[in-house]
Amino acid sequence: MSKYCIANWKMYMNRNKIDSYFNDFLEKDFDKNCKLIICPSPMHIDYVYEKIRTNKSIFLGSQNISEHENGAFTGECSLEMLLESNCMYSIIGHSERRELFNENDFNVNSKLQILNNSPVNPIICIGETSDENESGITKAVLKNQLIKIFDNIDFKDTKEYIIAYEPIWAIGTGKSADTETIYSIHKFLKNIINEINTNNCNICLLYGGSVNDNNAAEILSINEVDGFLIGSASLNADKFYNIYNKF
């Protein structure tokens, strides 16, 4: 089972910051048994590629992908564009896309269909709101998301399928879910995945939401956690590397 340490830079970086980020970063050892993936904004994907192209341990991902192949979709980024820019991964269904841009599980399913027929691997985000969490319906919400997103997906053993459980109330709040919660939700999700016909494909399950270099080791000690999707702490090269180093 692969492990993943994934940076979601959201809309925070600029070229100067990217230059400083990679000043020392590329000199470090990347010998952990864990894939390190950086997801910059679409404007910076080629720029980051030029930095990392000789480093075989760092991979590129996008933060989103259009569910359409091409056409009049102003502001969108297609699969072909991602492939031209050497993106091997794409985040889909991030809660910020859902909350701020009205994406739903149906759109995420369409994006997954596109990725499933391509060399780009999906990083599928699911998670409950704080209201849903307080109402005690977290597991039902997550199960429903997974079933809709995986509807009619013909799993392929050549692909890497990555799910990131990101409780929305833990994103950017500095308040990560506690280890008992993460254990219980991940165990539940792994059971659901086992019930779905995934053609015996490996599906990795990451945690995201206020992961930092202080809580990473404890969360990683949970067997059911196959890695992290990291926002704020991935914007700082040293902090991100410290987290990678815990694998």
Task: Estimate the share of the chain in helix, then strand, then coil, as percent rounded to the nearest 5.
Answer: 40, 15, 45
> Counting contacts by CB under 6 A, is residue 66 touching ligand 13P?
no
Q: DSSP string spanning 184-229?
A: HHHHHHHHHHHHS--TT--EEEEEESS--TTTHHHHHTSTT--EEE
Residues 161-180 that bind ligand 13P (CB under 6 A): 166, 171-172
CB of 50 to ligand 13P, least distance (A): 24
> Counting contacts by CB under 6 A, is residue 103 touching ligand 13P?
no
Considering the candidates 67, 96, 128, 166, report the single residue annotated as catalytic: 166
Among 89, 231, 240, 244, binds ligand 13P (CB under 6 A): 231
Residue nearest to ligand 13P (CB): 231
Q: HSE of 25 in the Cβ direction (CA atoms, 13 Å)?
A: 25
Binding to ligand 13P by CB under 6 A, coded x per residue (else -) over 208-227, reads: xxxx----------------
- Window contacting ligand 13P (CB under 6 A); options: 42-50, 151-159, 216-224, 230-238: 230-238
> Counting contacts by CB under 6 A, is residue 64 touching ligand 13P?
no
Q: Reply yes or no on whether 94 is catalytic.
A: yes
Q: DSSP string spanning 66-122?
A: -SSSSSS-TT---HHHHHHTT--EEEES-HHHHHHH---HHHHHHHHHHHHTSSPEE
Considering the candidates 44, 94, 96, 128, report the single residue annotated as catalytic: 94
- For residue 187, give Cα distances in angstroms to 49, 79, 125, 181: 36, 32, 17, 10
* 33/168 Cα distance (integer angstroms): 28
> Counting contacts by CB under 6 A, is residue 107 touching ligand 13P?
no
- When the beta carbons of 105 and 195 are compared against ligand 13P, the nearer one is 105
Residues forming contacts to ligand 13P in the complex (CB under 6 A) are 8, 94, 166, 171-172, 208-211, 229-233
